[in-house]
Amino acid sequence: MTTVILRPDAFDAPDSQAQTEAFIAWCKQSPHDADAPVLAPGEWEAANREARLAQGSRWMPAAGRLSVPPRATSA
């Protein structure tokens, strides 16, 4: 399922944050394969970044040596 959440402040939607969090929780509760959990945007990237850092990522130190700003290397 693809879901697009637009900029809520453009539509005067004061409770959009709570609604978005409730929607994500509802999606995560839906039946799924235990080996393929339901992920919210950015969760896959964050998990992979943590794994690379824990296992000794080679590109993050290289980015530092090349003066690549941290924001440009953040997933």
pLDDT in tens, 25-75: 998 888 778 788 888 889 999 988 888 888 876 777 788 888 888 765 555
Residue 56: inside a domain:
yes
Residue 31: inside a domain:
no
Residue 54: inside a domain:
yes
Tokens of 35: 């080996």
Taking the whole predicted model, whether its pTM rises above 0.85 is answered as: no
Query: Tokens 């590109």 — which residue?
Result: 59
Sequence-ordered list of residues with C-beta below 8 angstroms from that of 49, at least 6 positions apart, any chain: 74, 75
User: Can you give the residue range of the structural domain that contains 53?
Assistant: 44-75
Residue 65: inside a domain:
yes
- pLDDT tens column, 7-21: 777 777 788 888 888
Query: Tokens 């969090």 — which residue?
Result: 21
Rounded CA gap, 57 and 75, in Å? 13
Count of domains observed in the chain: 1
